[in-house]
Amino acid sequence: MTTMTTTPLWCDRCGEAATAAAHPACASARQLEPPRFCPDCRRRMKVQVLPVGWSAVCVEHGEIRG
């Protein structure tokens, strides 16, 4: 599993810049959604939701799980 950056460059829900503005609506929605965009490179990730947990894979930055 690859470790992504601790300071995200991109919002993992909407894919817009994470550094320019806060994303309160995305942060709220993310409580009931897995990430969709890689926070490092903005690529759409391959996401598999399971009954318990999820996994998201960026082709460049690897897999994260939640």
Binding site for another protein (CB under 8 A): 14-15, 31-34, 36-37, 44-54
The length of the chain in residues reads 66
Nearer to another protein, 4 or 35 (CB): 35
Are 10 and 44 within 8 A, CB to CB? no
Are 44 and 56 within 8 A, CB to CB? no
Local structure of 25: helix, strand or coil: helix
Nearer to another protein, 7 or 51 (CB): 51
Q: Tell the smallest beta-carbon distance from residue 53 to another protein (Å).
A: 8
Q: Tell the smallest beta-carbon distance from residue 52 to another protein (Å).
A: 5
